[in-house]
A and B are shown apart, each in its own frame.
Chain A
C-alpha cells in the first residue's frame, strides 16, 4: 500500500471505531465532551480519508481548461427582438385602457387589504407608552411583594420597587434610593415627591431600555450595564455620561401615616427610550 493509501485507510478506520464508540457513549450517557469528541473523530476520519484520497491518490489530471459560457445574449438582433416582444405585450395590455386602469386600482386595493391582517399583529400603542401601573396611593413593594417602609433603606443604599400587585412589571420598575436629604438638589416642584432623602426614579434606561443595575453611592450615580450611561441621582437623574439623552423620570412618593411608602402619581415623564409621539 502506498503511504497516502495507508493514511486514508487509517482515517476511515478511526471513523468506524469512533462511530461505534459513540453508540457506547450514548447508551452510557457519557456526557457532551465524550459525545463531541467521538462525533468529531467519526466525521473527521471520513473527512481526512476523503481529502487524502482525492488529493494524493487520484491521478493528477493536469488542470483542464474549458471555455467559459457566454453570459451575454448572442447578437444585437436577439436583444432587439426580446425588447420588442415585451413591448408588444405591454401595448396589447394598454390597448384596453379602461380595463388596465381598473387592474391597477384592484392591485392597489388588494395592497391596502393586506394591511388588515398586519393590523392584527399587535395592539394599538394608544397612550400605553405614556403611562405605567403607578397610580396615586399605590404602595411601593419589592419584587417579592414585601411593602417598603421609610426605614427599609440606609443612606447610600438602593432597592428595586414595584407598585403593589404588579411585582416584576417591566414598565413600572423603579429604583428607590436613600441619600442625605440636604444633598438632594431637586427643583422645588419635585422636592415634595422625595421625602426624607428617599427618591425614586424609573429603572429603565432612557437610552435603549436596559434596567439600571449599579448605584455608585460615592458619586451618587446610577450606571446602566448596557452602554454605561450614567445618571446623577441628586440632580433629577440628569444624564452625566454616555449615550442616554434624557434624565430618568422621577416617581413622586410620600410616607403614609404608618411609615409605608406610596406613590403620589405616575412618573414625571414617559419611561424608557424616546419615541416619536413624545414631545
Chain B
C-alpha cells in the first residue's frame, strides 16, 4: 500500500484527471449534440426525423466497446485516422448524445400540449417555441436521467484502457501496474473507490440542481 502510493500516487492522480477530462468533454459535447438532434427530431421535416431516429436507435443500442473498436481499427481502413484519445471521446459523444436525445424526448412528452397550442395562438415561431418553452422545460425535467447518464459516461471512459492512450486513464493505469508488479487487490480497490466517489459526487450535485431547477407540476 505504502509502495503503491509513493511510487504511483502521482500517476493515479494524473490518470484520474485523464478519466475526468475524457468524461466531461464527452458528456458536455454529447449534451449539446443531443439537444441539437432533439430539435431536429421534433421538427416538421419527415426525412430528418427519420434519420435522427435511426441515429438514436443505433448509438443507444451499440455496445461502447464495439463502437470504439470500430472507430479505432476500422475507420483507418476508410482513410480516417484519428488519435486514440479523440477516438474514445468521439465514441462516448455518439453514445451519450443518443441517450440525451432519448431523455429529452421523454421530457418533451411531459409538457402539456395546451402550452404549445397557446404559444402558437400567440403567433410565436417554431424556433421561439423550441428555445423558450420546450427546451427549458424538457431540460429541467430530465436532470435525474442526465445525472445517471453522466455517471455512466464516467464509467464508460474505462474503455479507454482498450487502446494505447498517450496518458492512460484510471482503468488503463491499474492494468499497467498489475501487469508489471502484481499488486493485486489494493490497486483495483483504490481505483474503484475513486470511480464510486466520483459517481456519488455527481449524484449529490445532481440532487442539488434538481432541487433548484426542477419543475413541480
The answer to whether A and B assemble together is: no
